[in-house]
Amino acid sequence: MSDRELRVSKIRNGTVIDHVSGGQALNVLSILGIDGSEGLGVSIVMNVPSAQLGKKDVVKVEDRELSQSEVDVLSLIAPEATINIIRDYEVTKKTRVDQPETVTGILSCPNHNCITNGGEPVETKFSIVPDGVRCAYCGTIIRDSIAEHIDTE
Amino acid sequence: MRKEHLITATQLSRADIEAVLDRAAEIDADPSAWAEKYETAVLALCFFEPSTRTKMSFDTAMKRLGGTTTDMGGVESSSVKKGESLADTMRVVEGYADAIVLRHPSEGAAQLASEFVDVPVINAGDGAGQHPSQTLLDLYTIREHTGLDDLSIGIMGDLKYGRTVHSLANALTNFDVRQHFISPESLRLPRSVRFDLHESGAQLREHTELDSVLPELDVLYVTRIQRERFPDESEYRAVAGEYRIDAKTLEDGKSDLAVMHPLPRVDEIAPDVDTLEQAQYFEQAHNGIPVRMALLDELLGGVPQ
Ligand SMILES: Nc1ncnc2c1ncn2[C@@H]1O[C@H](COP(=O)(O)OP(=O)(O)O)[C@@H](O)[C@H]1O
Ligand SMILES: [Zn+2]
């Protein structure tokens, strides 16, 4: 990325999530459970041109290095995302998101009659199926707009 | 079988099913030989939704194995009314019993229960989800009547919310069975069930009318279409009327067709069918006892006596 396109200033330490599907940056933060109240420096760029994706978002989180398992759930909404760990202004590690086998506690089940919506002491759990996710309790499959089911509580 | 629990029919392999059915046949042939097998066993009956036959048949099955049952009673009289979670109820009941039979109005309830206890949980119906012990007795009935391979079955009625339908369809994929699903458009099999059926390579077709497919069926499994599933009375009546059978309907079917129903029926099978050879639904209900005895034997096997 050229400096012309680097719309926010460089961070010293932290994580840059690049190549996020255009428009999904806020969902990325929501999945990561980052809402600003932690006091972390967060900057996002949305819908900037990308050769690969047409339009992409970029999310930068200062002073926090995200683990692979944390970022893997991003594959649900940003399958092309690249994760850059920044140390002392330099990219020290670059990985892709991998599809996890299950997603725990992030999505809520759209089936209102599902036991996970009944105030029970459990986290939701979804397994990954071809082009979607499936509730491990009631079996409901979510195919479209998975981001709408992110539990924002 | 994953010996711990029976939650969904998708967990059952052909070998699991055959083991239970073979055992059920053994029990059926000589029930008295089993009368003292589980003398110290206690089965908890936790029905968060009304039930007559499933509950009675588990109760009877446990007692015929020499054991006893302890009944949570109706939801109205229980701690659930005071707002206790299912997870807590299960953890408490676990201390009273060697196995738990659970019926609950929410899908996934039995799965959840099984995560909180160490004793076997049997799903006796979770909302519009699954009802696998019913399936075992359905399969037993089909095997006794027709055999379980090279079979054409028609499953008719409320396929969307019918938990007995979901479990039966899943389990039948273990056998060489052509499955025909007959329902109004609005009550088709849910996506999740169709997904499982396709995954396991089921031979299935969906129809909106019985007529065209009836002549080739060996088994016709009828279920009730409930009034609550429709926005208004007239729509319900128009639709439900199409999926009713009587003696006249069956004239177009094979003479050795087996007509089955998980019961209770309302008017989807006319009383004039009851006296015909084809009517298997009462036999089917009776099979609940040996089959559930066999299932309990499978799940309690190894309980220290
Ligand atoms: N110190 C930094 N502070 C903020 N963003 C950075 C920093 N270093 C790199 N980036 C951003 O991280 C992403 C990956 O950087 P880089 O590996 O240099 O580019 P690319 O992946 O496009 O080859 C880009 O979006 C870049 O703008
Ligand atoms: Zn669910």
The answer to whether position A41 is within a domain reads yes
Looking at residue A53, which CATH number applies to its domain?
3.30.70.140
Contacts of A131 (CB under 8 A, 6+ apart): A143
Q: What percent of chain A has pLDDT over 90?
A: 64
What is the pLDDT confidence band of residue A82, given thresholds at 50, 70 and 90?
Answer: very high
Report the chain B residue with the minimal C-alpha distance to residue A113. Answer: B106
**Which residue is it, tokens 């009836």?**
B214
Interface test with B, best of A138, A141, A142, A143 (most B CBs within 10 A): A138
pTM for the full model? Answer: 0.88
Q: Residue A87 pLDDT more than 90?
A: yes
Active site positions of B, annotated = 53-54, 82, 103, 131
Report the chain A residue with the minimal C-alpha distance to residue B161. Answer: A113
The per-residue pLDDT for B305 is: 41
What is the pLDDT confidence band of residue A3, given thresholds at 50, 70 and 90?
Answer: very low
Contacts of B127 in chain A (CB under 8 A): 113, 138
CB-facing half-sphere around the CA of B175: CA atoms within 13 A: 23
User: Which domain range does residue A73 map to?
Assistant: 14-96
Q: Which two tokens stand for residue A41?
A: 């420096």
The per-residue pLDDT for B175 is: 97
pLDDT in tens, A92-133: 999 999 889 999 998 999 999 999 999 999 999 999 998 789
Digit-by-digit pLDDT tens for chain B (305 residues) are: 446 899 999 999 999 999 999 999 999 999 999 999 999 999 999 999 988 899 999 999 999 999 999 999 887 766 666 789 999 999 999 999 999 999 999 999 999 999 999 999 999 999 999 999 999 999 999 999 999 999 999 999 999 999 999 999 999 999 999 999 999 999 999 999 999 999 999 989 999 999 999 999 999 999 999 888 888 888 888 888 889 999 999 999 999 999 999 999 999 999 999 999 999 999 999 999 999 999 999 999 855 44
The per-residue pLDDT for B282 is: 97
The per-residue pLDDT for A131 is: 77
Q: Centre a 10 Å sphere on the Cβ of residue A83 and count the other Cβ atoms it contains.
A: 22
Q: How far is the CA of A137 from the centre of ligand 2 (A)?
A: 5
Looking at residue A112, which CATH number applies to its domain?
2.30.30.20
Instruction: Give the binding-site residues of ligand 1, using a 6 Å CB cut-off.
Output: A 1, 6, 10-11, 16, 18, 58, 60, 84, 86, 89, 91, 94
Q: How far is the CA of B108 from the centre of ligand 2 (A)?
A: 7
The answer to whether position A130 is within a domain reads yes
Q: All domains of chain B, ordered by start, with CATH?
A: 9-130+287-299 (3.40.50.1370), 132-285 (3.40.50.1370)
Contacts of B126 in chain A (CB under 8 A): 115, 138
The answer to whether position A117 is within a domain reads yes
**Which residue is it, tokens 């109760």?**
B59
The per-residue pLDDT for A133 is: 94
Q: How far is the CA of A148 from the centre of ligand 1 (A)?
A: 29
- Overall number of domains in chain A: 2
Q: Looking at the structure, do residues A114 and A65 belong to the same domain, yes or no?
A: no
Q: What is the 3-state secondary structure (H, E, C) of B59-117?
A: HHHHHHCCCEEEECCCHHHCHHHHCCCHHHHHHHHCCCCCEEEEEECCECHHHHHHHHC
Q: Which residues pair with A48 in a beta bridge?
A: A56
Cβ distance B192 to A136 less than 8 Å, yes or no, reads: no
The per-residue pLDDT for A152 is: 66
CB A3 within 8 A of CB A9: no
Nearest to B129 among A119, A120, A139 (CB): A139
